[in-house]
Amino acid sequence: MKKAVVDNPVSDVKIQATGGKTSSLRSLKGKFTVLYFYPKDNTPGCTLEGRDFRDHYSRFEKLNTVVYGVSRDNLASHEKFKAKFKFPFELISDEDETLCKLFDVMREKSLYGRKYLGVDRSTFILDDHGVLRKEFRGVKVKGHVEAVIEEIEKLRKSGTKRQ
């Protein structure tokens, strides 16, 4: 499987999401899709980011865009996280790191001098044909969701070139 590249169709992979949803990236065609990768359920930054997507969700709906949060946590953890904060979107479990590798979000990190591989907070916008149109890497949570919405509005106005 080749890595996702801007202005190219994304490889199809199976996804498992909250709500008992098992599908594939290809099945997301027809709407714009936001995939936001975050390190871990129920941590301060990840909770804030999820709440920002939740609080702006009606704007995504008006833009015919679906939102998915993605982390390596299991579905049970995701279900609790989603319920606790009333997220109106699904969370994808990527325990085997298939999506993380496809979107190249694994980075070496350091905590208290200990190095480890972790998810680099990143967001990707796919158009309604499954083509990757924009990537945000090394995301800072504050103001990020608004930047994603602005980018989708720009892409929709410009009528992204079709592959």
- Tens digit of each residue's pLDDT, the chain (163 residues): 789 899 999 999 999 999 988 889 888 888 999 999 999 999 999 999 999 999 999 999 999 999 999 999 999 999 999 999 999 999 999 999 999 999 999 988 877 888 878 899 999 999 999 999 999 999 999 999 999 999 999 999 887 554 4
- Give residue 108's pLDDT: 84
Is residue 113 a part of any domain in this protein? yes
CATH for 109: 3.40.30.10
Kindly report the pTM of this predicted structure: 0.92
Total tally of structural domains belonging to the chain: 1
Query: Domain containing 147: what range?
Result: 14-158
100 is catalytic: no
Residue by residue, DSSP assigns the chain as -PPP-TTSBPPP-EEEEGGGEEEEGGGGTTSEEEEEE-S-TTSHHHHHHHHHHHHTHHHHHHTTEEEEEEESS-HHHHHHHHHHHT-SSEEEE-TT-HHHHHTT-EEEEEETTEEEEEEPPEEEEE-TTSBEEEEE-S--STTHHHHHHHHHHHHHHHT----
**For position 160, what pLDDT does the model report?**
56
- Catalytic one among 4, 10, 25, 46? 46
